[in-house]
Structure 1
Amino acid sequence: MPGAWTETEVLAIVEVYFDMLAMELKGIPYNKAQHNRELAQRLNNRSKGSIEMKHMNISAILHELGMPSISGYKPYSNYQRNLLPDAVLDRLAANPDLTEIVRNDVDSAVEVPTVTDILDRLETPPTMNMPKKSKETREPTGKYTIRTNFLKLEAANKSLGDAGEQFALNFERAWLISHGKDSLADKIEHVAKTQGDGAGFDIRSFEPDGTDRFIEVKTTKYGRYSPFFVSANELRFSEEHAKYYHLHRIFQFRDDPRLFSLSGSVGKNFILSPTEYRASLS
């Protein structure tokens, strides 16, 4: 039975992961199964499940660094901390072109994608998995430092945010019309435009019975597991209006937009991690 992953194996899987990630970011089709079959020949009898899990570990590390990950590999943060983080950091250091691709991608302008049936874009929400604490706590020793949180930079892309909100508006209108509520569809308000960003939500829509739906929209070009950012005001509003609050997470917005929606407070549905603190002297 294979033991712990060796440095040679870790370097091999990180290399293959980054090759696939670069192709995904460039919009180049690739075959994950084929890449993994070729990778398996370089490993020490690793099972398909073991290889899959290691890919998921790499996704988790990239998210911790503020980088996008491969869409199909759900992040799993219980990883081998004495080898894998350094291998990822070193690979990033050796591939500045990849960082530049990401930088250009998160800043690029976005238009609302055209879809045949927008209601068909709705997916079942993923389950929330609390991360397990690893016994190993040693920090990465790689010399490379991510100076920019690209996922946060993407979240600040106004073009992307506006396009995502318009997509959500189109979805809400289509959803109400499908329930025979055309008059309610006409009353949907784009609150982020009419009242500004301080309202704590983006769209005021309705249930078929006329009850309010307060909708916050979070949009990414990347996969469904990409982290997103929530302001203190948005979090507070979701708690105070949990009964009527819905978060629409729109993902793969670049070429195959999809969304899932969760109702109730943000803290009930997502793992929240503090990323910034306000400092003062009083």
Structure 2
Amino acid sequence: MKHLLAYILFLVTVTTFAQDKKEEKQTLQAQSYVAEANDLAVNDAFIEAEMEYRKALSLKPTQVAGAYNLGHQYFKKGNFEEALFRHQQAVKNATSKEEKHRAYHNIGNILMEEKKCKEAVEAYKSALRNNPSDDETRYNYAVAKECAVNQKNDEPQEEDNEGDNNKDKEENKDENQKENNEKEQEDQGEDDKKEGDQDKDKDGEPKDEKENEQKEGDQKNEQKQPQPGQLSPQQIKNLLEAMNNQEQKVQEKINAQKVKGAKLQTEKDW
């Protein structure tokens, strides 16, 4: 039993030693990649340097130097998003205060470039917690604080501008509504005019009045015209005159007969 335990302990020791050797080898290899990348960066060979830094981080992701130096190269090229990511990676894996101080300091610089002054103040604070004696960090911290105050003071002005923009929008909206109403009134006037023109004839006279006059004339004509089976006033007049003439002729005839039949009155014989 003792021999078995001793054998197991031996295997564990050998395995741990082998793992340590492998990790040490990877660390050395990663450091070699970083050193090569640093030389390339000094000679402004950014693409080649970036490849070597990435090799180092692929082999040893927790290596602070690789992430920090790569982030610094991105910062110099103006790629602030990637630079911020790499320095945050360096802060996460940092094991000493100095490493954290330098990474936080650079994070503050990146945020200042992006006009994020309030966030930069917090980054410089973290850097000073790890190294309170760094004059450059203290100076940058003061500048970031002033920048944050100025940005805060500018916020109400931005709100006022927004209010002015909203006011302008409302005025434009009212003006557009007024124009639409005027256009609708003009369109309605045109429609009324068209309807009025339709109610007039070619001489400009209202059709309705002319039609009414025509109807009244027709009614009068209808009144003047005799209905079937009735005599017109002229016919009645002619008939009356004919009757009067006939009656006169009859009267004259009667009178003539009376004269003809009357006895001649002579003087009385005495």
TM-score, structure 2 as length reference? 0.24
Give the strand-richer structure, 1 or 2: 1
* Higher radius of gyration, 1 or 2: 2
Give the helix-richer structure, 1 or 2: 2
The higher-RCO structure (CA 8 Å, 6+ apart) is: 1
